[in-house]
Each structure stands twice: as C-alpha cells, then as structure tokens.
C-alpha cells in the first residue's frame, strides 16, 4: 500500500444481514483492532464517504436503499462486500426474499468472505480497497484533466470577466 | 415447558382472547401454518410461565377477527400473517393496519402455496412433557370443504 | 401551535446498526406520532426448514442474529429435543448456560457501547467494546469463533470445555468484573447521562402489561418477567434465579437493569463452573422428528424468545417459528416515542436494544 494523501472515510450499512458482520465492522473501529489510528473514520453521511462497507445479501425492500446510498457517494468510491451473505448470499441464498449477494444491487470492488467475517479479514479487505481507491483516483484525475481543456475554452469569456472584476491572475478551477 | 393446546372455532377466537385478557394472560405470539385445509392459527397466551395455545383452522377463503381490540400489539403478527400467508384478518385497529404493505416482498404471499405440508391438522398429536396430568384433546376440526383456487405457477423466484 | 411535519428516520442512520424505518410526525421539535416500517432484514428463513434437514438447520437458526446467535441455536435445539423427547446430559445443559450467559454479557456490553455512542459519549463506547473483547476472547478460545460459533447442536453441545479452562474463564471474569464495576460507577454517577436518560421514554407498569413487552424493557417498569425463573430444567433452576427489576420505567432504569444483569451473569457463570457435573456433552440423535409439535422458550438478552417446531416424520421439519423479543418490543417503541423530543429519538430506539434482524428473521 503506497502512501495515501487522504484518510478514507467509510460508511457502513446493513443490507439485510444477521448483524454478525456489522458488529465485526464496528469492532474494527474499537480499541482492539482500531482502524481509526490510520485516519479511517466511520461517518453516517454518504456524501462524506469514500468506502462503502456493506453487509448482507440484499432483500427486495433494502435494494432501493442500498442503491440510493451508493449513488449519493461521490466519485471515486469503493464498495467492499463484507461477509458470506454479501458475497454470494451465504446460508440464505435460496430464501424467497433474498436477491443473493450484494453485486446484484451495486458493483462491488472487494469481497471479504467469512461468516461472520473476522476483523482481521475486514481490515485486509479495507486495505485492498484502498489500493482500488487509489487507482480510481488516478483514473479520475486523468479523465478530469482530459476534459479540462475543452471546458477552459468554453469558460474563457467568464474567465476574462473574472479577471476584469478581480484584476488578479487566472480563475482557479 | 408446560403447554396446552385448546381447539376452538375461528369465530370464537375473539371471545376466548377477551377471556384470557381478563384473566391477566399475556399474548405471546400468533402463529400461522399452511395446511391442506387452509391455515392453522395458534394464539399463545402466557400466565405464570404456562403457555395456553388457542388453535383454530381457517379455510383459504375464510377470515378471522383481529384481536387488536384486546391486545393492541398483536398488529405486528396480524399484518405479518396477512402479508406472508394471504389470510384475511378483519378489523385491525386502523392506526396500525398496514393494508398489505407491512413487508415489501419479492413476491406476494410467499407462504401461501402448500410447499411441504404433508400433515393435515387433524392427525397432529400434542406432545406434552410427561407427568403434567393435562391432556389436551385435539378433536378433528369440522371444516366445510374449502374451495381451493387453482394455484398459478410462479415464474421462478430468482 | 406549530406546523406538523413528517420526517423519515432510517433505515440508514449513524446511530442505527440495523435498518429500521420510522415516520416521525413532529410538531416543532416534539414527536406527536411515530409509525414504524420494518421488513428491511426479512430474509424469510423460517421457510428454509423445508430445504434443510432438521439437524442442519441449527446453522441457519444461529444466523438469525449475530448478537444473540447462541441463544437461537439453543432455542432451536431445545425445541427439537422437546419434540423428539431427547434428554440432554446435565453437563451439556450447564455448558449451554455458560455460553448463553457469556452471550448476555457481550450483548449488554455491546448495548452500553451503542447507547453511549447514540448519546455522543464516544469514549464510553470504545471502553465498553474493549471490555467486550475479553468475552469474545473467551468465545474464541472455547469454540473457535467470535460471533457465530456453532457450539450448540440437537442433542447437546459440540465441544467440551476442560475444567482447567473453566477455572481460567472464572479468573478472567473476575478481572472483568472489576472493570465493569468501574464502568458502572461512571455511568450511574455521571450527570450528563442522567440528564439524557432520566424521565425519557417512560413506560408505566400498566403500559408494560398492556403492550406486552418483554426483557429488560419490561423489567425496568417493574414487571418481573424473566423466563429463566420459569424454566423447569437446566442450570437456572439448580442455581436459583431471581429477576432484576426497577420501577421508574425510563431509559435510565433500563440502563440500570442491564448493568445489574451484567453482574448477575458473572455470578451465574461462576455458579455453573462450581457445580459443573461430569459426563457426556451430547447424546446421539436417531430417527426423524415425529408428527407432533412443541413450544419452548429461552430468555435472550433482549427478552423472551419463543420457538415452535412441528415435525412430520421426515428429515425436514414442517414448520419452525421464532418469535423474538424485539418483535414484541416494537409496539412499545412506537408508544414511547409519542411526546418525546426529536433529539431523544435515537436514545429511545437504542434503549429497547433493537435487534432488527431477530425481529424480522
């Protein structure tokens, strides 16, 4: 894992799980395993989060909720499916109300197996997720800078107006 | 655990429930099982850790009165059995009648089909702890022949 | 006279570990009415009895809930044993009691942490969960798993605990007790906690009876309802058990009940270890469940849970029904929320110790 320039914040949601993996996710934040020493913070606001830790195979009622949280998160974002239920449906894969696996709802980047997934495995999954996050950040930076040139041409009249108003250097973007 | 099953008619449920409430019993749960004759409902009441169970059989097209007038918190189970089994529970207290939207399920009334019910209600013997001295006689229920609607084949649940 | 608005609470919320949705009708900042919407964790696992054999189903029953996992495995096994008329050896009963009381310890410490987090007292959250890790270490050294450990099976338990290990468990619990005493002293004496929890979410004794609540929620209102004193067999009867009750019925009383139950559970475990009988840990299970039915109950950390099984002479049971304590405590929650402040809503929800995955199976 290379040097990260920002500490990733995570949001956790229980997508129809038995709660075992959720308490192991919370156990990662508490003193014995303590990911907060790496600067990882558990937030409740999807718009603040980089990493979406989701547990449980999705059921029909939960599907729009999971999708909504995923869509609210800003790019780049990483989804980590924690636990056997989130990977494939687990023991409940043939229940009438389960879709079976989190990837039926949202695209998943890292799968952490286990029932309940151990905190060591979850931290390992988060670290792998951070690598994926970095790659996505780089890809996003490339695409933003590629799109920037066209936008600058369009914004030129505005930029000129700003210069006249402020009398200072370039408009920051 | 000390338990007793009392067989009643579906129309007697509310009256018996009121009597249990007057005696100071607590409604523990409402249970529904799909059997060939329809639905087998069990209302469990507890007093001093002794479980009294009212057992009734409701045909598929039949209905049962809600007991929310006696035990308000029964709405949780009555809405549930309506959504999962399709049984018609009448006159649930209006502020807690979810009208079929208690759960949002992948398919409606998933318990309605007779998936595995081999045991019709009349043949079920009650298993009590020995030495209790209480014998619950399970009389075969006199149920009018239900008109079972043809079960539409479900298009796969996945 | 303010305007009335309806705001949604959940299913995703920072204080909620599990999804539950409430529609809160507010007038200014007071909740006038609350209506609940559950079903986010409904997996429909009761229907899985038709696909899994009755002995295999223990693993599904355990996974109803991760916090009360052992209790569900025990309740299911007890129900099937009652159905088939299997007499479990005394040692297995005592071992099951030890694991169940350890479960209660970890569940109440988890609740203290989440309740503190809901109030904003984050250092107490971290402290309680650090103490909880001691219990999870005991689980891991005796069974191999931290949260879901599959120790119970139909006919007994799957693993034994050696007597030397039992003494070590008691030594660890003695150390834990000192730390729990210190934590209880902080919680009961802190003025901020009093201000947040006293006279909030009051449930009178009449309401508790009328709304049928169970567990610490009922015991905090003065209703001495605890299935451990009603159970005819098992270690509880041998050791003698009395439920812990408080009278005020507010959030603080529920907190006190759970804290005192922590200390009571440690005493029960010590009693079990001192009186541990020798013998087998399981009996072999032969044949299939008969065409009969059986009810059984277990006192889970959140209240009384009822298990019903109906057999039909085949490998698969005909019906399994689990009525969990949170299922009964939801109506009480709806009533408690009437008339409270909006800022108290997370506290009140956490005070019934909601285990929504239990509630919806």
* Residue predicted with more confidence, A144 or C257: C257
The dihedral through the CA atoms of C172, C178, C182, C185 has a sign that is positive
Helix axes C122-143, C163-189, angle to 10 degrees: 170
Q: How confident is residue B140, by pLDDT bands cut at 50, 70 and 90? A: very low
Please determine, for residue B128, whether its predicted confidence score (pLDDT) is greater than 60. Answer: no
Q: Do A97 and B110 touch (CB under 8 A)?
A: yes
Model pTM?
Answer: 0.85
pLDDT for the residue numbered A155 = 52
Q: Do C14 and A62 touch (CB under 8 A)?
A: no
Q: Does C87 touch chain B if contact means CB atoms closer than 8 Å?
A: no
pLDDT for the residue numbered A52 = 92
Q: How confident is residue A151, by pLDDT bands cut at 50, 70 and 90? A: low
- What is the spatial distance between Cα C65 and Cα A16, in angstroms, rounded to a whole number? 11
Q: Residue A66 maps to which CATH number?
A: 3.40.50.12280
The closest CB to that of A18, out of C48, C110, C357, belongs to C357
Q: How confident is residue A134, by pLDDT bands cut at 50, 70 and 90? A: confident
Q: What is the mean pLDDT of residues C168-194?
A: 91
- What is the spatial distance between Cα A173 and Cα B4, in angstroms, rounded to a whole number? 77
Kindly report the nearest CA distance between residue B50 and chain A, in angstroms: 31
Q: Whose CA is closest to A101, among A117, A122, A119, A84?
A: A84
A146 located within any domain = no
Beta strands in chain C (DSSP E): 4-9, 21-27, 30-37, 152-153, 156-157, 292-300, 303-310, 319-323
> How many CA atoms within 13 Å lie on the side-chain side of A137?
12
- What is the spatial distance between Cα C241 and Cα C262, in angstroms, rounded to a whole number? 14
pLDDT for the residue numbered B72 = 87
Average pLDDT over chain A reads: 81
Please determine, for residue C62, whether its predicted confidence score (pLDDT) is greater than 70. Answer: yes
Chain B CB contacts of A16 below 8 Å: none
Please determine, for residue C154, whether its predicted confidence score (pLDDT) is greater than 50. Answer: yes
Which residues are B89's β-sheet partners? B64
Q: What is the mean pLDDT of residues C6-34?
A: 85
* Residue predicted with more confidence, A25 or A7: A25
Query: According to the 3-state scheme, what is the secondary structure of A82-143?
Result: ECHHHHHCHHHCCCCCECCCHHHCCCCCEEECCCCCCHHHHHHHHHHHHHHHHHHHHHHHHH
Pick the CATH number of C4-360 from 1.10.3720.10, 3.40.50.720, 1.10.645.10, 1.10.540.10: 1.10.645.10
Q: How confident is residue A80, by pLDDT bands cut at 50, 70 and 90? A: very high
Chain C CB contacts of B116 below 8 Å: 50, 312, 316, 318
Placement of tokens 């209006």 in the chain: B94
Q: How confident is residue B158, by pLDDT bands cut at 50, 70 and 90? A: very low
pLDDT (tens digit, 9 = 90+) per residue, B62-111? 888 888 888 888 888 888 888 888 888 888 777 777 777 787 777 777 77
Kindly report the nearest CA distance between residue C127 and chain A, in angstroms: 8
Pick the CATH number of B3-123 from 3.30.1490.190, 3.40.50.150, 3.30.460.80, 3.40.50.300: 3.30.460.80
Q: Which residue range forms the structural domain that includes residue A64? A: 9-139
Q: Do A96 and C47 touch (CB under 8 A)?
A: yes
Total of domains in chain A:
1
Q: How confident is residue B39, by pLDDT bands cut at 50, 70 and 90? A: confident
Please determine, for residue B150, whether its predicted confidence score (pLDDT) is greater than 70. Answer: no
Give percent of chain C with pLDDT exceeding 90: 23
pLDDT for the residue numbered A170 = 44
Structure tokens at B125: 């013997």
pLDDT (tens digit, 9 = 90+) per residue, A23-44? 999 898 888 888 888 788 888 8
- What is the spatial distance between Cα C276 and Cα C270, in angstroms, rounded to a whole number? 10
Residue ranges of A 43-72 with Cβ closer than 8 A to chain B: 59-61
pLDDT for the residue numbered C174 = 92
pLDDT for the residue numbered A150 = 52
The per-residue b/e assignment along B112-135, b for 16 or more CB within 10 angstroms, e otherwise, is: beeebbebebeebebbbeeeeeee
pLDDT for the residue numbered B121 = 43
Q: What is the mean pLDDT of residues C10-22?
A: 83
Q: Do C331 and B31 touch (CB under 8 A)?
A: no
Q: What is the mean pLDDT of residues A71-85?
A: 90
pLDDT for the residue numbered C185 = 92
The per-residue b/e assignment along C251-271, b for 16 or more CB within 10 angstroms, e otherwise, is: bbbbbbbbbbbbebbbebbbb
pLDDT for the residue numbered A165 = 59
Please determine, for residue A9, whether its predicted confidence score (pLDDT) is greater than 70. Answer: yes
pLDDT (tens digit, 9 = 90+) per residue, C67-82? 889 999 999 999 999 8
CA-based nearest residue in chain B for residue C41: B103
A3 located within any domain = no
Q: How confident is residue C227, by pLDDT bands cut at 50, 70 and 90? A: confident
pLDDT for the residue numbered C9 = 87
Q: Do B104 and A100 touch (CB under 8 A)?
A: no
The closest CB to that of C50, out of B1, B76, B116, belongs to B116
């Amino acid at each position: 894992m290379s040097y990260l320039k920002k500490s990733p914040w995570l949001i956790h949601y229980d997508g129809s799980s038995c709660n075992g993996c959720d308490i192991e996710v919370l156990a990662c934040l508490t003193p014995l395993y303590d990911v907060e020493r790496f600067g990882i913070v558990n937030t409740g606001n999807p718009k603040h989060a980089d990493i979406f830790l989701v547990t449980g195979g999705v059921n029909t009622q939960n599907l729009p909720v999971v999708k909504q949280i995923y869509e609210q998160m800003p790019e780049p974002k990483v989804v980590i499916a924690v636990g056997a239920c989130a990977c494939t449906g687990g023991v409940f894969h043939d229940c009438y109300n389960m879709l079976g696996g989190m990837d039926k709802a949202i695209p998943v980047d890292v799968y952490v197996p286990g029932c309940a997934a151990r905190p060591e495995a979850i931290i390992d999954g988060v670290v792998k997720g951070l690598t994926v996050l970095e790659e996505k950040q780089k890809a996003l930076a490339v695409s933003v800078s590629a799109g920037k040139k066209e936008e600058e041409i369009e914004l030129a009249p505005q930029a000129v107006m700003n210069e006249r108003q402020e009398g200072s250097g370039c408009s920051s973007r | 655990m000390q338990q007793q099953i009392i067989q009643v008619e579906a129309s007697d449920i509310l009256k018996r429930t009121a009597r249990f409430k007057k005696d100071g019993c607590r409604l523990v749960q409402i249970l529904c099982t799909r059997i060939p004759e329809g639905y087998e409902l069990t209302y469990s009441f507890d007093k001093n850790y002794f479980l009294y169970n009212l057992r009734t059989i409701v045909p598929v097209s039949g209905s049962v009165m809600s007991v929310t007038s006696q035990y308000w918190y029964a709405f949780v189970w009555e809405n549930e059995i309506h959504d999962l089994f399709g049984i018609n529970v009448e006159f649930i207290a209006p502020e807690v009648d979810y009208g079929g939207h208690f759960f949002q399920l992948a398919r409606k009334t998933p318990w309605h089909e007779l998936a595995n019910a081999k045991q019709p209600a009349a043949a079920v013997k009650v298993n009590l702890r020995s030495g209790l001295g209480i014998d619950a006689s399970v009389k075969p229920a006199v149920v009018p022949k239900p008109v079972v609607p043809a079960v539409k084949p479900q298009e796969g649940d996945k | 006279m303010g305007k009335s608005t309806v705001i949604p609470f959940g299913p995703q919320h920072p204080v909620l570990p599990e999804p539950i949705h409430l529609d809160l009708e507010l007038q200014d900042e007071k909740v006038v009415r609350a209506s609940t919407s559950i079903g986010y964790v409904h997996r429909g696992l009761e229907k899985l009895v038709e696909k899994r054999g009755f002995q295999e189903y223990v693993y599904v029953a355990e996974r109803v809930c991760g916090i009360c996992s052992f209790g569900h495995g025990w309740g299911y096994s007890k129900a099937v044993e009652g159905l088939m008329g299997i007499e479990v050896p005394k040692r297995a009963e005592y071992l099951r009691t030890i694991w169940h009381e350890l479960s209660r310890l970890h569940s109440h410490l988890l609740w203290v942490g989440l309740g503190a987090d809901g109030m904003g007292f984050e250092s107490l959250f971290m402290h309680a969960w650090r103490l909880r890790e001691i219990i999870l270490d005991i689980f891991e050294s005796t069974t191999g798993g931290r949260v879901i450990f599959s120790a119970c099976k139909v006919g007994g338990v799957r693993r034994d605990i050696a007597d030397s290990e039992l003494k070590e468990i008691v030594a660890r619990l003695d150390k834990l007790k000192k730390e729990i005493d210190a934590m209880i002293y902080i919680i009961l004496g802190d003025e901020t906690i009093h201000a947040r929890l006293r006279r909030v979410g009051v449930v009178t004794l009449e309401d508790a009876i009328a709304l049928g609540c169970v567990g610490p929620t009922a015991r905090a209102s003065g209703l001495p309802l605890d299935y451990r004193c009603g159970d005819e067999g098992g270690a509880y009867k041998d050791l003698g058990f009395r439920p812990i009750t408080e009278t005020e019925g507010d959030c603080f009383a529920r907190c006190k009940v759970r804290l005192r139950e922590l200390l009571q559970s440690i005493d029960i475990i010590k009693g079990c270890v001192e009186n541990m009988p020798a013998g087998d840990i399981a009996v072999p299970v032969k044949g299939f469940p008969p065409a009969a039915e059986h009810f059984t109950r277990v006192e889970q950390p959140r209240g009384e849970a009822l298990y019903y099984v109906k057999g039909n002479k085949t490998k698969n049971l005909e019906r399994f029904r689990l009525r969990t304590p949170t299922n009964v405590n939801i109506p009480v929650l709806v009533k408690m929320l009437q008339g409270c402040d909006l800022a108290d809503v997370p506290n009140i929800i956490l005070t019934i110790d909601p285990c929504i995955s239990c509630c919806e199976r």
